[in-house]
Amino acid sequence: MSPYFIGIDVSTTASKALVIDEQGSVIVTRSQPHALSTPRPLWSEQDPEDWWRASSQALREVLEVVPAEQITAIGLTGQMHGLTTLDAAGRPLRPAILWNDQRSGPQCEAITKKVGEKRLYQIIGSILPPGFTAPKLVWLRENEPEIYRQIARVLLPKDYVRYKLSGAYVMDVADGSGFGAMDIGKRTWSDEMLAAYDLPRAWLPDLCESTDVCAYVNEAGAAATGLKVGTPIVGGAGDQPAGGVGNGIVSMGQCSLTVGTSGVAYAVSDRYAPEPDGRLHTFCGPMPGTWFHMGVMLSAAGCLRWLHDELTPESSYDALNQQAASVPRGALGLVFAPYLTGERHPHPDPLARGAFVGLTLRHGLPHLTRAVMEGVAFGMRDLLELLRSLGVNPSEAVVSGGAANSPVWRQIITDIMGMPLYTVNTSEGGAFGAAILAAVGAGAWPDVPSACAHMVRKVDELHPEPAGIQDYERLYPTFRGVYPALRSSFAALSEFEA
């Protein structure tokens, strides 16, 4: 029988199960949605049981197509940073606090002052933004002490699904890097950071590499999903490093641009060398002995979804694309600041807001749409410039996420980046990468680069237009000036709202 490998992706919107064979062909994929709660401004939560319900259902559905006996190994990926607190019986104590939740800003400031800014991002590979996991625990201690006192274990979203499958409390180093409590250079928990947070080590799971077999499906997990008892589970990785694997970004000089709900620029490094001012994340890579640089903007394709849902819900996205294509570059002097949920890079500001700058009576919905697409692309350019400052100078990049499905938006991004962009043979991203990690962990391939060389292929390539490069190079400095000009106004508006 042919061996198959499963990738499970616990994203913000759904849990997906994907099955591939040894050559990387996708056999079947199924997903089930999650509900998202925003009980207060800047808050974002989900019920961990929803992740398990959706994951187990998706697994049952793919196993209707592929026999459980042919599943050789499982890899996990998912949204990073989500704080999942469990009691002594392994039950969730409260809704998980997600990656885009901004409530722990004061706690991040206090910890940064305690450790020292330079020292902190040398240890954790980043400044400490509110989205990270550990500051949320400090917030819980200060605001929900009755919940905090009951904590026995802390996991990340995909690792909760692993726990439900196997009973194991394990976290891979690539996803664990976003916890905010690891020594990234040493690929282990940092005693210094745990002391600064005043958090017990006993709450934290064991760490493993992304391709390590670290757990096995137990009887309860098998009964809930249809998987075979004893099926190996590898460490996996967070959605961004797993997506890097799924896009074939496994060596120096390669770069990926993911323009999904959030936006991410991703590049691999063979040494630990964090950005000097902490304006990028430098985390443990999904391959032993590697690290990766990652720049994050919190609202990317999510900005266009907001515009669609709030201003023109009856329109199709194809109609929006056509409207944007009818508008000249620069949207008649209209610029959009894409900070609808605060920002992380290069502006670590949870109080940042979205803004249209330059509105006149000439502007209508088509111009707003074009400006949103361009503003998101300029935000991604900011991330690319940070990577370039570290010596990452790609001659091309793979583009993925919802924006990659739009011809007009893809051309805008290509022109603003000023270099060719290409797509690969699958759009499954993180789930595909998790399945590749499972295949390597099971011994089907000797290492991740070998697997990707056989499984990931370039498909479409798009080149920038010279006139587009010229126009956007003129407009980019104006975009870069918007945030500094409005920063104090954003803070004042947030204070007024509070």
Q: How many domains does the chain contain in total?
A: 2
Phi and psi at residue 164, to the nearest 5°: -70, -30
Instruction: Write the DSSP symbol of residue 168.
Output: -
Tokens of 104: 């722990």
Secondary structure class of 320 (helix, strand, coil)? helix
Tokens of 357: 């700058």
Which residues lie below 8 Å from residue 113, measured CB to CB, with a gap of 6+? none
Per-residue pLDDT of the chain (498 residues; tens, 9 = 90+): 789 999 999 999 899 999 999 999 999 999 999 999 999 988 999 999 999 999 999 999 999 999 999 999 999 999 999 999 999 999 999 999 999 898 999 999 999 999 999 999 999 999 998 889 999 999 999 999 999 999 999 999 999 999 999 999 999 999 999 999 999 999 999 999 999 999 999 999 999 999 999 999 999 999 999 999 999 999 999 999 999 999 999 998 899 999 988 899 999 999 999 988 888 999 999 999 999 999 999 899 999 999 999 999 999 999 999 999 999 999 999 999 999 989 989 998 989 999 999 999 999 999 999 999 999 999 999 999 999 999 899 999 999 988 999 999 999 999 999 999 999 988 888 999 999 999 999 999 999 999 999 999 999 999 999 999 999 999 999 999 999 999 999 999 999 987
Residue 444 maps to a domain: no
Q: In this structure, are 183 and 299 located in the same domain?
A: no
Tokens of 55: 């994951």
Q: In this structure, are 160 and 92 located in the same domain?
A: yes
Please give the helix or strand (H or E) that residue 138 lies within, else none: helix 133-143
Residue 117 maps to a domain: yes
The CATH number linked to 79 is 3.30.420.40
Residue 459 maps to a domain: no
Instruction: Say if residues 383 and 399 touch (Cβ distance below 8 Å).
Output: no
| pLDDT for 100 | 86
Please give the helix or strand (H or E) that residue 252 lies within, else none: none
User: What are the residue numbers of the active site?
Assistant: 239
Tokens of 435: 């399945």
| pLDDT for 439 | 98
Give the end of a domain, one of 215, 241, 267. Answer: 241
Give the end of a domain, one of 192, 222, 241. Answer: 241
| pLDDT for 498 | 79
Instruction: Write the DSSP symbol of residue 227.
Output: P
Secondary structure class of 468 (helix, strand, coil)? helix
Secondary structure class of 9 (helix, strand, coil)? strand
Give the end of a domain, one of 222, 241, 260. Answer: 241
Q: In this structure, are 139 and 235 located in the same domain?
A: yes
Instruction: Say if residues 69 and 237 touch (Cβ distance below 8 Å).
Output: no
Residue 496 forms beta bridges with which residues?
none
CA distance readout (Å), 383 to 251, 267, 449: 19, 11, 25
Residue 190 maps to a domain: yes
Length of the chain: 498
Pair type for strands 45-46 and 96-97? antiparallel
| pLDDT for 237 | 98
Q: Residue 309: give the domain boundaries.
A: 249-424+465-498
pTM greater than 0.85 (yes/no): yes
Q: Which residue has the tokens 């962009």?
A: 421
**Cα distance between residue 96 and residue 193, in whole Å:** 22
Q: In this structure, are 175 and 263 located in the same domain?
A: no
Instruction: Say if residues 386 and 346 touch (Cβ distance below 8 Å).
Output: yes
Q: In this structure, are 115 and 64 located in the same domain?
A: yes
Residue 73 maps to a domain: yes
| pLDDT for 350 | 84
Q: In this structure, are 257 and 225 located in the same domain?
A: no
Q: In this structure, are 397 and 317 located in the same domain?
A: yes
Q: In this structure, are 152 and 258 located in the same domain?
A: no
Residue 492 maps to a domain: yes
Q: In this structure, are 268 and 237 located in the same domain?
A: no
Among candidates 18, 27, 11, which has minimal Cα distance to 74?
A: 18
Q: In this structure, are 150 and 214 located in the same domain?
A: yes
Q: In this structure, are 126 and 56 located in the same domain?
A: yes
Instruction: Write the DSSP symbol of residue 209.
Output: -
Residue 262 maps to a domain: yes
Q: In this structure, are 349 and 265 located in the same domain?
A: yes
**Cα distance between residue 306 and residue 253, in whole Å:** 34
Residue 34 maps to a domain: yes
CA distance readout (Å), 127 to 60, 111, 327: 41, 11, 39
